Amino acid sequence: MSNFQSLQRQELTQAKLKHPPLKSAHEGYAVILEELDEVWAHVKTKQPDYRAMRRELIQVAAMAQRMAEEICEREIRFTPPNP
């Protein structure tokens, strides 16, 4: 496992302890977009802080995994497949 993956796993664990489960795909998207906007803020600067950018990317990855697990997996289990 890479250092990034390890940090992403830690971020995901901390987020789950701190915040209740995501309620909808809209909420998950909003959380991911907020984190991605923070990455964009670093990208736009003349001299990006790559350590800070990496921290934000770790949060993006953690929230993407959280949305996949809490929203997508739930809906896949409880929604019949399309014919």
CB half-sphere exposure, 83, CA atoms < 13 A: 0
Count the neighbouring beta carbons within 10 Å of the beta carbon of residue 39: 18
Q: Residue-wise pLDDT tens for the chain (83 aa)?
A: 789 999 999 999 999 999 999 999 999 999 999 999 999 999 999 999 999 999 999 999 999 999 999 999 988 887 777 76
DSSP string of 36-60?
HHHHHHHHHSSS--HHHHHHHHHHH
pLDDT of residue 83: 64
Residue extents of the structural domains in the chain: 3-75
